[in-house]
Amino acid sequence: MMSRVQQNGNTDDEDPSGFDARFPNQNQTKHCWQNYVDYHKCILAKGEDFKPCRQFFLAYRSLCPSSWCERWDDQRENGTFPARLDQ
């Protein structure tokens, strides 16, 4: 039997993405994007040690393809990220 620990290290009980069984086929792209942006806004405003930011981190890590996160990280470093994170 498969372990309850998923690939991202969360157990099924800790899934932060907020799955809603009413919408099993709902596109999660916007949810992914918003959690990525919210996480980076949170750590800029409160610092990386602020525990509530972790919820956004866990959500975007479970929803977003890693290639997207890598591209967005590169864009943030280069100053070309399409969202303002300082607001």
DSSP per residue over 7-73, as a string? TTS-BGGG-TT---TT-TT---HHHHHHHHHHHHHHHHHH-TT-TTHHHHHHHHHHHS-HHHHHHHH
Q: According to the model, what pLDDT value does residue 26 have?
A: 79
Listed residue (27, 25, 45) closest to 86, CA to CA: 45
Q: Quick one: average pLDDT of 49-67?
A: 95
Instruction: Calculate what percentage of the chain has a pLDDT beyond 70.
Output: 74
Listed residue (14, 20, 13) closest to 59, CA to CA: 14
Residue 11, pLDDT > 60, answer no
Distance separating alpha carbons of residues 70 and 21, to the nearest angstrom:
29
Residue 87, pLDDT > 50, answer yes
